Chain A
């Protein structure tokens, strides 16, 4: 099997609120898939549908080859889940919760359990009510990571963890990937997503607005260019995909859709480049653009993004262009 999770056109409403409005999500077996979106975008709702806790009203969801609602108990043998809000039974110790949850999944590996407790620096003898938020999170993480399962579903698993533990978490997920486990990781921590995820899906208002590798997503956005020219440029405003053009004498600042970067550079070169700084969008910019409410209306670059998701995320041809977007170039 090559897809662990296959969700298409998922719809779910709570009263008058439409939480999921035709959401798509594909997670390939063996990949770490980032699941991103602003608060209330529908990430946790999707996860709950995948866990068979909520019943979808429309669309289809397949999980590990089964129906998450009908085959819930059988599928749950093969997955482990870490909720965003971990609540423990006040009178059970952390160690008891780890063992219980592990046994109720596919079983628990005692060696891994011991190792993880040590790595996460977690005292398993404390009672549930005396753990801090971060430590409750660690209990759920250790229980999930020590369980003998093929799929990990993690809903903001590092909220409340200190930076040290966050690093431990990243190491653990990297190891999981090496071992061939599939991970669905909902997160707001962009550095974490960048370090761990093979592919990401960005959702907003219950729909998927973007999906692909981070490199692909970067291609779908704008590069900002600032240049010092030998003379005033002509025809820059006519280049397709150029936005926010700001010409101050022989200094030019502009943003250009990455697909049209070379067109813009041709015009600039004609004017004679003295210095050039081209900056690919940072992850923050990438996400902020998608998170903003009216991003689509304000910035036309949102259009190819949506086309990308609708047609199965084919990156535009320019993605292969050697201009690349990973590096910024400065010449004089």
Chain B
């Protein structure tokens, strides 16, 4: 098989380059699962307390939308597979697609693949090596999750099914990334394309799972994430369902190879068009350049936030219809402050998660500075009258205003959708929009930290900024589940976002968050002024 010559060497090279990245991902995903499983036991020690919880949750379409179908919630395994498992499916998909693009299209774009490809390397070896690397990471997660879950006392069959369903989900998105890497010329665009498919899969599943038995629950069966959750680990495992994601992944990989064979090295299937011979009059400042560089990504994110906003708003309305006469549900309901309370809690949760996603946007917008620097594109720019601060601010502006804009878009559309259907547009829109915008200061804290790392310890900017963000997500989403200390939870800026819906919002924490964000940002800019470039 000369087309695959060199695959082994390339795979080892990829694993060597990712010797920190992959273990961090694998350990993080495994730990979230195993630690949550061990805390479920202590949180809900009695069967009765679990039954109550399960009954409450299983009927709440809003949480079904977020985490997926609720099966066997009265068991440790079932509870863990649902939450945080429902989000781990998304994360393993994200990990897999990032790995594949990183070792295929990104290598090609950088020109390094050309150097490698001139050696004894078959035509399909680079893509195969990228897929193998992702598969190795996926299988590692599968094995460790299965062993870990068995270790905390969950049934073996369910634990193996859980591991396999995670791996299957990862493989699907590795395969999708393999196609995306053929289509576009840029790694950024390939990540965006594959990420969009991941987002759509999640939304399809969310729509299907929240629809209830009478609604469009078939939507979940259109989503690769949906298939993997339909394996129903710990709730009468349906191993045969794994055939869907596996067959789909194989088909998609095959298509990826076909596409790869039809194009030249460096080229995408979508040919790069030509551009204008001279620049528009307004392209005369670092801000205008940053707009050219970041507008595509911002637009993509805005579309995503708009779609999510509409979905969030319409699910919010579905909640009313779904909640039945179930006595336990009514109990939970009363405790949460009535019907409105349930919806408010749902909206707060979802918009809080959107805050985390907006922080992902903000951090990557800030890190654009670092990639411009290491990509040697900052140097010629800073050799003009553009000052360092002006250059940095041009990109940080996207992190600051862009993230606020994204949350505004989502909040606005969620508010309009929810308010219009509830017949109370004037009353609901400001509340929902406010609940979205209240996340902004916390997002800015993470952006500020990214600026600080970039300015003060540039070598660590990428790893450092993502680690801080990852920890905030981990703490915010899983902190209560993991039973972290209060001070540990307080480290996350999102722990300080005041409740807006169904409460009088406190202003003080917001002021603190803004102050910390500003301080971190200024520190970063001062550091940037004093340090070497390059």
Give residues in A with beta carbon < 8 Å to B: 48, 51-55, 72-74, 76-77, 79-81, 83, 85-101, 103-105, 124-127, 129-130, 140, 153
Q: Which 5 A-B pairs have the closest CB atoms?
A: A93-B275, A99-B279, A104-B384, A81-B383, A96-B279
Q: A83-B379, A91-B292, A100-B283 are in contact. Are A129 and B384 (CB under 8 A)?
A: no
Please report the C-alpha to C-alpha distance between residue A88 and residue B109 in the assembled complex, in whole angstroms: 13
Verify A104–B387 contact, CB threshold 8 A.
Answer: no
Q: How far is the CA of A79 from the CA of B275 in the complex (A)?
A: 27
Q: Quick check: B279 and A81 within 8 Å, CB to CB?
A: no
Q: Is the CB of B275 within 8 A of A89?
A: no
Task: Decide if B383 touches A126 in the complex (CB within 8 Å).
Answer: no
CB distance from A108 to the nearest CB of B (A): 10
Contacts of B276 in A (CB 8 A): 93, 95-96, 125
A140 vs B384: C-alpha distance when bound (angstroms): 13
Binds A, one of B86-94, B435-443, B526-534: B526-534
Chain B 177-192: CB-based contact to A (< 8 A → 1; otherwise 0): 0000000011000000
- State the majority secondary structure of interface residues on B: loop
Whether A91 pairs with B293 at a CB distance below 8 angstroms is: yes
Cβ of B380 under 8 Å from chain A: yes
Interchain CB contact under 8 A, B277 and A76: no
Given contacts A51-B382, A95-B275, A99-B279, A85 and B534 within 8 Å (CB-CB): no
B455 to chain A, nearest CB (A): 14
B216 is an interface residue with CB less than 8 A from chain A: no
Q: How far is the CA of A79 from the CA of B385 in the complex (A)?
A: 9
B511 at the interface (CB under 8 A from A): no
Asked if residues B278 and A124 are in contact (CB atoms below 8 Å), the reply is: yes
Residues in A whose Cβ lies below 8 Å from that of B12: none
The smallest beta-carbon distance between B181 and chain A, in angstroms, is: 15
- Nearest CB of B to A7, in Å: 17
CA distance A55 to B186 in the complex (A): 34
Contact (Cβ within 8 A) B384 A76: yes
Contact between chains at B272 and A130 (CB < 8 Å)? yes
Contact residue among A74, A99, A129 (Cβ-Cβ distance under 8 Å from B385): A74
Query: In B367-390, which residues have CB < 8 Å from any A CB?
Result: 375-377, 379-387
Whether B532 pairs with A76 at a CB distance below 8 angstroms is no
A43 to B377: give the CA distance in the assembly, Å.
19
- The answer on a CB contact under 8 Å between A125 and B275 is yes
B383 and A95 contact, CB distance less than 8 A: no
| Residues B376 and A127 in contact, CB atoms below 8 Å apart | no
Taking a contact as CB atoms under 8 Å apart, the answer to whether A48 and B534 are in contact is yes
Contacts A55-B531, A96-B275, A129-B272 aside, 7 further interface pairs with beta carbons under 8 A come to A48-B533, A51-B382, A91-B186, A93-B276, A101-B381, A125-B275, A125-B277
Q: Does residue B504 face the partner (Cβ distance < 8 Å to A)?
A: no
- List 21 interface pairs A-B (beta carbons < 8 Å), by A numbering: A48-B534, A51-B382, A52-B382, A53-B379, A53-B383, A53-B533, A54-B533, A73-B386, A76-B384, A87-B376, A89-B289, A89-B292, A93-B276, A95-B277, A96-B278, A96-B283, A101-B380, A103-B279, A104-B284, A104-B381, A130-B272
List residues of chain A with CB within 8 A of the CB of B186.
90-91, 129
Q: Is B274 at the interface (CB under 8 A from chain A)?
A: yes
Q: Select from chain B the residue with minimum beta-carbon distance to A84.
A: B376
Q: Does B273 contact A (CB under 8 A)?
A: yes
The listed residue with most A CB atoms (<10 A of its CB), out of B279, B289, B530, is B279
Return the chain B residue nearest A75 by Cβ: B385
CA of A125 to CA of B275, assembled, Å: 5
Number of B interface residues at 8 Å Cβ cutoff, please give it. Answer: 37
Is A126 in contact with B275, judged by CB distance below 8 angstroms? yes
Query: Is the Cβ of B534 less than 8 Å from the Cβ of A53?
Result: yes
The reply to whether B530 and A55 contact each other, CB–CB distance below 8 Å, is yes
The residue in chain B whose Cβ has the minimal distance to the Cβ of A128 is B275
Q: How far is the CB of B295 from chain A (nearest CB, A)?
A: 10
User: B283: nearest residue on chain A (CB-CB)?
Assistant: A100
Contact check, A105 vs B379: say whether CB atoms are below 8 A apart.
no
CA distance A169 to B65 in the complex (A): 64
B376 touches A83 (CB 8 A): yes
A contact residues around B375 at 8 Å (CB): 87
User: What is the chain B residue whose CB lies nearest that of A44?
Assistant: B534
Residues 253 to 306 of chain B near chain A (Cβ within 8 Å):
272-280, 283-286, 289, 292-293, 296
B382 touches A92 (CB 8 A): no
Nearest residue (CB) in A for B374 is A87
Q: Chain A residues near B275 (CB, 8 Å)?
A: 91-96, 125-127
Question: Does the CB pair B293–A103 fall under 8 Å?
Answer: no
B residues within 8 A CB of A54? 532-534
Closest CB-CB distance, A31 to chain B, in whole Å?
Answer: 21
Given A91-B293, A104-B385, is A85 in contact with B277 using a C-beta cutoff of 8 Å? no
Q: Is the CB of A104 within 8 A of B386?
A: yes
Contact in complex: A95, B279 (CB < 8 Å): yes
How many angstroms between the C-alpha atoms of A91 and B292 in the bound complex?
A: 8
Chain B residues with Cβ below 8 Å from A52 are 382
A126 to B274 alpha-carbon distance, docked (Å): 5
* Contact assessment for A127 and B385 in the assembled complex, using a CB-CB cutoff below 8 Å: no
A73 and B382 alpha carbons, distance in the complex (Å): 8
A36 to B449, CA, bound (A): 42
What is the distance, in angstroms, from A50's C-beta to the closest C-beta of chain B?
Answer: 10
B297 to chain A, nearest CB (A): 11
Contacts of B284 in A (CB 8 A): 100, 103-104
Please give me the residue from chain A that is nearest to B292 by CB atom. A92
| Contact call A129/B377, Cβ cutoff below 8 A | no
Please indicate the chain A residues that have their CB under 8 angstroms from the CB of B272 in the complex: 127, 129-130
| Interchain CB contact under 8 A, B532 and A124 | no
Bound-state CA distance A205–B531 (Å) is 23
| B278 contact set on A, CB distance < 8 A | 95-96, 98-99, 124
For A14, the closest partner residue in chain B by CB is B532
Distance between B286 CB and nearest chain A CB, rounded to angstroms = 8
A55–B531 alpha-carbon span in the complex (Å): 7
Looking across the interface, which residue of chain B has its beta carbon closest to that of A88? B377
Shortest distance from the beta carbon of B189 to any chain A beta carbon, whole Å: 9
Q: How far is the CB of A67 from chain B (nearest CB, A)?
A: 14
Contacts of A127 in B (CB 8 A): 272-275
- Using CB atoms, name the residue of chain A closest to B532: A54
A73 touches B385 (CB 8 A): yes
> Bound state CA distance, A79 and B380, in angstroms?
11
Chain B residues with CB under 8 Å of A81's CB are 380, 383
In the complex, A35→B273 CA distance in Å? 39
Residues of chain A within 8 A (CB-CB) of B283 are: 96, 99-100, 103
Chain B nearest CB, measured from A114 CB (Å): 10
Expressed in whole angstroms, the Cα–Cα distance for A94 and B275 within the complex equals: 8
Closest to B384 in A: A104
Q: Which residues of B contact A124 (CB under 8 A)?
A: 277-278
Smallest CB gap from A104: residue in B:
B384
Interface centre among B275, B376, B380, B384 (most CB of A within 10 A): B384
In the assembled complex, how far is the CB of residue B279 from the closest CB belonging to chain A, in whole angstroms?
A: 4
A125 with B274: in contact, given A83-B380, A100-B279 (CB under 8 Å)? yes
